[in-house]
Amino acid sequence: MAKTHRPPRPRSTSAPRSTKSEAARVRGLLDGLSKLYPDATTALRHAGAFELLAATILSAQCTDERVNRVTPALFARVPDAAALAAAPAPVLEGLIRSTGFYHNKAKSLLGMSQTLVARFKGEVPRTMEELVTLPGVARKTANVVLGTAYGIAAGVVVDTHVRRLAQRLGLSTADDPEKIERDLMALVPRARWIEIGHTLILHGRRVCAARAPACDRCTLRPLCPTGRGAAG
């Protein structure tokens, strides 16, 4: 039986109960991140939803920089869903080999593109429910495509950076990405769901690193329970 994908419901949250002071703190974090990264968007270079979808699949356990080196040759060879669907697996694997896990990624890309051709006339759908039926596509990838390519706020992107910062900033106590997403959706106004994903990712890369967060130079420190507790 195929797995049923249901969008998380923001009313169920493991984050602290919203109070006026907590709501003000969250607004302060959002505004602080927006000021730091006013033009935040994905680092994956793409032209349209199809390229972004393929690039996001390739970005699993791989840096965006590496994906950006691979995709120009990939999209020159397979510029749309129909071309990708017809590509021989060995050729596709050769094009994406340096992104790692290329056997599985090639399988996902082929399955994704073949499904786009068979069910969606080669076009990337605009709903979460349809996107997560594509091979290789879960909520994170679907949120990236919906938010960045279409401007549709269906949820919040939760990658390793967002997961780490949501916990450090006191926005979630969960470990599971879907639970973290529910917490963020409950705390953050829907109009800022796309923005918060992009800005948290950038802050995680530039300031709040996994091993050595730069709390001493973080402008969010006064609003961050982890930063306030840091020595120095």
**Dihedral (CA of 6, 153, 220, 201) sign:** positive
3-state SS, 152-210, equals CCCCCCCCHHHHHHHHHCCCCCCCCHHHHHHHHHHHCCHHHHHHHHHHHHHHHHHCCCC
Rounded Cα–Cα distance for residues 62 and 77 (Å): 21
Give the domains, in start order, of the chain with CATH numbers. Answer: 49-150 (1.10.340.30), 156-225 (1.10.1670.10)
Q: How far is CA 66 from the centre of its chain?
A: 17
Mean pLDDT of 198-223: 97
- Encoding tokens for residue 133? 């039926």
Q: Which of the residues are catalytic?
A: 140, 159
Q: So what's the pLDDT on residue 19?
A: 82
pTM of the predicted protein model: 0.89
What is the chain's mean pLDDT, rounded?
93
Closest CA to 112 of 90, 143, 80: 80
pLDDT tens digit string along 85-141?
Answer: 999 999 999 999 999 999 999 999 999 999 999 999 999 999 999 999 999 999 999
pLDDT surpasses 90 at 232:
no
Residue 18 confidence class, pLDDT cut points 50, 70, 90: low
pLDDT tens digit string along 132-188?
Answer: 999 999 999 999 999 999 999 999 999 999 999 999 999 999 999 999 999 999 999
- Encoding tokens for residue 93? 């694997």
Residue pair 11/181 in contact (Cβ under 8 Å)? The answer is no
Terminal CA-CA length for the chain: 55
